[in-house]
Structure 1
Amino acid sequence: MNVQKSVTGTSEDIVYLDHAATSWPKPPAVLEAVHYALAHESANPGRGSHRMAVQASRTLLKARQQLARLLDVRNPVDIAFTANTTVALNMAIFGYVRAGDHVVATMTEHNSVWRPLEALKRSMGVEVTYVPVNAKGQLELHEVEQAFTARTRLLICNHSSNLLGSILPVAELAQLAHRHGARILLDIAQSAGHIPVKLQEWEIDMAAFPGHKGLLGPQGTGGLYIAPDLDLTPWLYGGTGSQSEEANQPSVRPDRYEPGTPNTPGIAGLAAGVQYVLQQGIEAIAAHEQQLVIRLINGLSDINGLRILGPAAGEPRTGIVSFVMEQQDPAQIAFILDRQYGIAVRAGMHCTPLAHRIAGTLATGAVRTSVGYGTTEQHIDHLLEAVQFIQRTANV
């Protein structure tokens, strides 16, 4: 199956290779859905019985149903909408971990995991063990198992590193956690919409995702899947439109975890983005991005003085390829790529200092390229030509 390349943007000259941060441009259907929701569905879902409120509620339900289909979730109400992955991860961590608990995480985690865990260490005496990975971002299951103690309550891991692109064996990690009586929280920020995600099949307890990356929705959207047998302590309280006479947050899902007026236009756009992914087929999208990644890694490997981070070409990874060049500042490289070649990439720490420590780039940072559904072979070749030129001129 061919992945459709029809995209709509405002800057046709930009070669956009920063999809790991936010996908761009969005499919036209996403823009149309946001506009339609603003024009015709700008009422509070779940709060009123008039037709606009009812239609807004239907929009949210449709989005939940689409997400449940894509992410392998049996009941759509087990998906709570949030503003982004960061909010979802905080909701899960602070809603589940208790004083004196032990948490296991990996050295590839984002700051949205690392900082909440470090805050819990300071404020509640929570103990945290970060399991090391190798330079490619791969870990050994026996090392994860050795990290568990009698007080381990939660295992947290990202499905794919946002620096290295490596993919962790999350199904096996879920089994390991459950054998030790713990739960697993999965960060699917870099995998949702890029590679198959099967939360039900893998027996994942919680999964945090963004709407604005591989799911092709607007910024300010995301969510948290919560297994039906798991109850989180709400970290946000307020109006839900249900059980309003009670002082406590309602027990019914998803209201329990969604107080306040939701981002209905954004969620409408998210539903359109997920529908686009479903229409294209996640396997086709994954194959398309893998082909581009192999082309990119092979081309970068021919450039002297350049080191590629993460798995080798052909090994399991998502569409993220980061690199460093000898005697070159990653920020300067990204600036030249943008201003001279019209190529958008990301340089710096990528909010994951633990992974940079593993990669040996904590002092310098790295240049991160990331492909998406609209990336073409021509985009990759343009980047390779630009990086080759930067390398040649730097050594003159």
Structure 2
Amino acid sequence: MAGALTAPAARADLGDDLARLRRGLAGQVRVGSLGFRLLERGEVAPLLLPPWAVDATTGDCTTLVLLAPAPTQFLVHVHPWPGLQSVFAASAGAFQLTRCGAERASLLQVRIELRSPRAVVHGLVAVGTEPPLALPHVLPERDAGAIAPLGDPGPEPRREPLAARLARFESAASLAGATGVENVLLPSPGYVRLALAPGCHRFLATGAEGAAPFTLLLGEGDDANVERLPASEQGDVSHELCSATTRKLSVSAEGATADAERRLGVAHFSLPVGLPGRFGPEVAEQLLDALGQSRAPRRLGSLVVTALGAQGRTPLPRALLPQTCYLAALAVVHGRAQALTLAARSGAVSAEASSRDTDPSARVTFCTGRSGAVDLDVEARGLGVAWQLFVFQMGPARPEAG
């Protein structure tokens, strides 16, 4: 009777699920592990398949399987292929995709974008003469079912009053460490002159309810180099710029009329203590962008490594202090980068970051083990790309157990 009442565990652990996946792939010609990655929310990590995964002599079909804890949500981006889906959503921590024939080339470029706060994602790749069992047959508890249609979100909420928007901007900047916040009238017609000290500066241009759409113009003495920033659907312009020198800026609103009030909020953040200036102001500004602009650490440690490189893959093994933590930042100093990847591996621990379309830079933090050895790796793709890597010593690591 007791045996009849005993039920299997409702949720197997991740190791059991990986073992079941391997059994489901047992009929394939070759199966290999892609390792695992610890990802944070919003992080986009490239996933490289081994050459044999697309070798026609091994088999005609390639299958990619990704597995994370059951609640994990992530997106999988594969290289676009005519007539095929290129972005997939996984809502139960599991994903499987098989491509056969020439379509397998789309798996040469795979990226994982995490939507959950943090998760470890494991990868498997298999090659065979035909597709393996579908994922719901191997891990039925990971089948999230059909996606429900989008519901009616209802009417758009009323916009905050102008004063409330500016107060929220000032409060957020102060909490982030701003040294000062100013709020000035943005005239139309006309312009505002700003004297910006070295540092990073956040801008919010916003208008009263019913204000006409506008484009924010940022100029610096040369009309040919005016930066044009169109307002969002809500009628706001949010922007940030960093400068290693004093700058005088003219700010105006194009397309705005004088029938509604518009205000400009500017939050000022000082340069991080320890920011190296010996490479010149332009490189310092590119480094500031790579460090996160106003979100950069307030204090940087000693600069212990700097290296220059070009497009392609560049391994940079280094011997650093043992049991010490570092911050590595990668900045583009020439050309136009399509993608950057920066990785740091110390023993069995690795960290990796990739650039985004709106942020052509990458940064990672890592800690060395007892040997102090670390393998840094930079991969850059683009047109005439040159990059510079900076590694700062930030502090001691927690001693390893034993």
Do they fold alike, i.e. is TM over 0.5? no
Return the TM-score normalized by structure 1: 0.24
Q: Highest relative contact order (Cα 8 Å, sep 6+), 1 or 2?
A: 1
Higher strand share: 2
Q: Based on CA coordinates, which of the two structures has the bigger radius of gyration?
A: 2
Return the TM-score normalized by structure 2: 0.23
